[in-house]
Amino acid sequence: MPTILPMAIITIAASALLWGAFLYAYSGRTWRFVRLMVWGLPLSAVVNLFVKSPVGQGVGALAGIDPGLGLDTPVWFLVFLFLLAPLFEELIKVAPALVPSVRRHATTPDDALWAGMALGLGFGIGEAAYLGWQIALSGAYEQYAWYMFTGFFGERLVVVLLHGFMTALLMWFAARGRPVIGYLAAVGTHALLNSGAMLFQLGLVAEGVAGLSLLVVLVVAVIVFERVRPRYRQDQARDDVVYYSADD
């Protein structure tokens, strides 16, 4: 058995339990949004296998660019590859909202925030599974014991939450009639999140510097989330919850 699999399973389970509980508690102690997480689970594998990979390889073949050139790769192609994830992943994460049974959970900005959070969290958990599978298939880290993949655990745990935040932001803006602004905000946040990893892979920054982008996005996400999230009065019965937003 590939040695990363136990840690991947632990990461997936911990992310589902922690962020599922977070969503349940913050959305007013209701399961209706938590159930939406299931819709996001397969989307990372779908977008990677059937969109990002074919598009990246196709454009590279048309341009005659050999993969793996590193800094010798034309700048425009590096930028193109860098933007594939933000542009396509932020679109596919909200695709389930086209389904009527999902869309009815996002009819108001407050509900759209939680529905988007659920879809993004599901995507992030599915992405952890997909990446664990890809690492296992590569066989590149078989010399390490499973408990040495703590970096995978920590990074994925945070990234799952950030995927939820980005999709929540997009759907919150969309419910307010500004879907383009929401999409650009999600794409920009996603690009900033990925910037450190790309620079590290190109050998332009140290690993510690690369992790700074993750920290910056996490801090900004927490601040923005606290500003826009709806709140309910704890002294109200669940069936008579009174919501109010920061804009009221």
- Structural domain spans, the chain: 5-231
- The 10 Å Cβ neighbour count of residue 224 is 16
**pLDDT value of residue 213:** 87
Burial class (CB in 10 A: 0-12, 13-18, 19+), 110: buried
Question: How far apart are the C-alpha atoms of 125 and 168, rounded to whole Å?
Answer: 15
**pLDDT value of residue 1:** 67
Pseudo-torsion of CA 234, 236, 239, 244, nearest 10°? -70
With tokens 């938590």, the residue in question is: 34
With tokens 């999140």, the residue in question is: 193
Beta bridge partners of 224: none
- The 10 Å Cβ neighbour count of residue 86 is 21
List, run by run, the mean pLDDT of 10-residue segments along the chain (248 residues).
91 98 95 97 98 95 82 87 97 97 95 98 98 94 94 96 98 97 98 90 79 91 94 51 48
Question: How far apart are the C-alpha atoms of 120 and 100, rounded to whole Å?
Answer: 18
**pLDDT value of residue 209:** 77
**pLDDT value of residue 232:** 67
The helix/strand/coil state of 244 is: strand
Please name the helix (run of DSSP H) or strand (run of DSSP E) that holds residue 127, with its range, or none. helix 109-138
Burial class (CB in 10 A: 0-12, 13-18, 19+), 176: middle
**pLDDT value of residue 233:** 56
**pLDDT value of residue 231:** 81
pTM of the entire structure? Answer: 0.91
Q: What is the DSSP letter of 232?
A: E
Q: Give residue 109's Cα distance to chain centre.
A: 20
